[in-house]
Amino acid sequence: MLRRVLLVGALMAMLVGTVIFAVVIWMGLEGVAISAHGWIALGLGVFFATGLGIGLMALVFFSARRGYDDQV
pLDDT for res 58: 95
Q: pTM of the predicted model, to two decimals? A: 0.58
Which residues in the chain come in under a pLDDT of 50? none
Contacts of 34 (CB under 8 A, 6+ apart): 42
How far is Cα 19 from Cα 13, in angstroms, rounded to an integer?
10
Distance in Å from the first CA to the final CA of the chain: 30
What are the sequence ranges of the domains in the chain? 1-32, 34-72
Amino acid at 32: V
- The sign of the dihedral angle between the CA atoms of 17, 18, 19, 20 is positive
pLDDT for res 72: 64
pLDDT for res 34: 87
Helix (H) or strand (E) holding 42: helix 36-66
